[in-house]
Amino acid sequence: MRDIDLRRLRYFTVLAETLHFGRAAELLHISQPGLSAEIRRFESQLGVTLFTRSPRTALTPAGETLLAEAEAVLAGADRFASVAGVLSAGQAGVVTIGSTASVLEDGLLEVVAALSREAPELRVLIEEMSSAESAAALRTGGIDLACGNAAADGPDVFSTRLSSAPFVLVRPAAPSAACPIPREALTLSECADLPFSVFRRSASPRFHDTVRALCADAGFEPRFTHRSRTWRSALDAVAAGLCVSVAPEPIARARAARESNLVLAEVVASEHRAESWISRRADSPSVLIDRVESAIIDAFAEPT
């Protein structure tokens, strides 16, 4: 097999995220026929089919498997370019954080922005990845800190819990043909017949399984019609009136405050919680890593 073209890897990951050739082509600034041709050439090069085209665009099992690998390769290439830029600029130090989208949305970006103002000589690089991906990258030295929805286990890793929050039921502001909400004061137990948005299990086994468990506790098996890789896209489907979902309260509340077409229906009473953790290797003593880790832990600490 010839060397893999990073450009085609990006085409593949963007189409996998949108599952729509037209929208992906717009994001990639190429024509739809051009994107279709590139994907077919990529499939021919790999010897596998990445997408089904009919009745709708969807990842094949091979596509699902290769997506995580493609994202890891692209993240590595981006990190290489970023670190090279830092070195060429002569900056004092670099700390790399691997983080899930949920921790980013819950305040990590604001912490990094504050650090950049306080210490302009310090460069913090962020790579969005799943908890499993960040734990693996942490152990191999690919990143310095891992932020995710689970602690990175093992004797070689230290982990600190950043936050713990309940899940909330999120619904569209008004009923629709796709999601006929029976009444405004909706409870989770009344959602048995409604479509649900959920994390792909490959993206977050913990969040996917938690949604199933919450629905099982409410007495039903959810009917998943929208599968996403981030809470942002999961809540996009709810805001569009297509389904309901359960999401961590801080993320859902912040989104509902910005959008009138998304409503928090109920805080789900359950022992299942949405947690976030920060982990580091035990063999990575560094003043810079200490500073970034402490800033993140302090920012996420609940007020006493």
Residues 6+ apart with CB under 8 A from 6: 73, 74, 77
Question: Do 12 and 25 lie in a common domain?
Answer: yes
Query: 75 in a domain, yes or no?
Result: no
Q: Which domain holds residue 201?
A: 167-272
| Number of domains observed in the structure of the chain | 3
Q: Which tens digit of pLDDT belongs to each residue from 229-261?
A: 888 888 999 999 999 999 999 889 988 998 889
| Same-domain status, 139 and 11 | no
For the stretch 93-117, pLDDT in tens is 788 999 988 888 888 999 999 988 8
User: What is the chain's Cα-based Rg?
Assistant: 21
Q: Do residue 175 and residue 267 come from a single domain?
A: yes
Helix, strand, coil percent values for the chain (each to nearest 5): 45, 20, 30
- One domain, residues 193 and 225: yes
Same domain, 158 and 182: no
| pLDDT surpassing 60 at residue 90 | no
Helix (H, G, I), strand (E, B) or coil at 270: coil
300 neighbors 273 (Cβ within 8 angstroms): no
As a whole-number percent, the residues of the chain with pLDDT over 70 amount to: 94
The position carrying tokens 């912040």 is: 254
Helices in 122-204 by DSSP H: which ranges? 131-140
- 172 and 264 in a single domain? The answer is yes
Spatial distance between the Cα atoms of 190 and 294, rounded to a whole number of angstroms: 43
Residues whose CB is less than 8 angstroms from the CB of residue 159 and which lie 6 or more positions away in sequence, other chains included: 151, 152, 153, 277, 278, 279
pLDDT over 60 at 304, yes or no:
no
Longest dimension (CA), the chain: 61
Model confidence, pTM:
0.64
Each residue's pLDDT tens digit, 160-184: 999 999 999 999 998 899 999 988 7
Q: Among 24-33, 69-78, 250-259, which is the least confidently predicted range?
A: 69-78
Asked whether residue 270 carries a pLDDT value surpassing 50, the answer given is yes
Domain for residue 255, yes or no?
Answer: yes
Q: Of all helices (H) and strands (E), which one includes residue 244?
A: none
Task: Tell me which of 250 and 185 has the higher pLDDT.
Answer: 250
